[in-house]
Structure 1
Amino acid sequence: MTIVRSLVLFAVAALAEIGGAWLVWQGVREQRGLLWIGAGVIALGLYGFVATLQPDAHFGRILAAYGGVFVAGSLAWGMVVDGFQPDRWDVIGALVCLVGVAVIMYAPRG
């Protein structure tokens, strides 16, 4: 159950951070205004809070592992929201990152 909880928290954190960054991007680069930027800032703050709910108590480990989730999640977000088509190297890189997440977070430690 702990691994499932951790994976769900990583997914929620990814939605908050990537969505927040996208909202800020839209507000600034696409000139959608302060409301979009403000919503993005709130989402980014939510990401910071969600990360604290991970079962592991080590900030460095959580943030390092989340980096891999962010890479894969950003490509997925781009596909769904912006019509981005990753090439095979993007996909391979994301898979390597997700393997890194699994090793960092879920390898047996003694």
Structure 2
Amino acid sequence: MLGAVGGFVLFLYGIVPTFQKTHFHRVYAAYGGVFIVMSVFWGWLIDGIKPDNYDIIGTIIAVIGVLIIFYYPRKGEKVWSK
């Protein structure tokens, strides 16, 4: 049963980004950044492996990269509004 739930979650992981209103590759970049952050937290909180300085630095660099990919304004694109 747990395997079926995991399979369904993976299915949603692949499908949900296709319904977003922004560019597909930017949504996947954001997913990648969340995946990196959550994997570091999982290792720390669940597995008991405290992240070292390089884990933290790498995670920060990945998140900065996601922010640049997702939010940096491009020529000819509309800027988001509420």
- Classify the TM-score, shorter chain: 0.7 to 0.9
Label 1:106 to 1:78 Cα distance change in 2 as closer, same or farther (>3 A). Answer: same
Label 1:37 to 1:85 Cα distance change in 2 as closer, same or farther (>3 A). Answer: same
Which segments of 5 or more consecutive residues in structure 2 lack a partner in the other structure? 76-82
CA deviation vs aligned residue, 1:69-97 (integer Å, no higher than 9, x gap): 21112111222222221111001000000
What are the equivalent positions in structure 2 for 1:1-110 lying under 5 Å apart? 35-56=1-22, 58-110=23-75
Which segments of 5 or more consecutive residues in structure 1 lack a partner in the other structure? 1-34
What is the CA distance between 1:52 and its match in structure 2? 2.6
Q: CA RMSD in A?
A: 1.7
Identity of aligned residues (%): 45
- Number of aligned pairs? 75
TM-score, normalised to structure 2's length?
Answer: 0.74
The structure having more radius of gyration, on CA atoms, is 2
Matched AA of 1:105: F
Q: Is 1:78–1:84's contact at 8 Å kept on the other side of the alignment?
A: yes
What is the CA distance between 1:51 and its match in structure 2? 2.0
Distance 2:19 2:48 in 1: 32
Label 1:71 to 1:36 Cα distance change in 2 as closer, same or farther (>3 A). Answer: same
Q: List structure 1 segments (4+ residues) > 3 angstroms apart after TM superposition.
A: none
Query: Which structure: greater helix fraction?
Result: 1
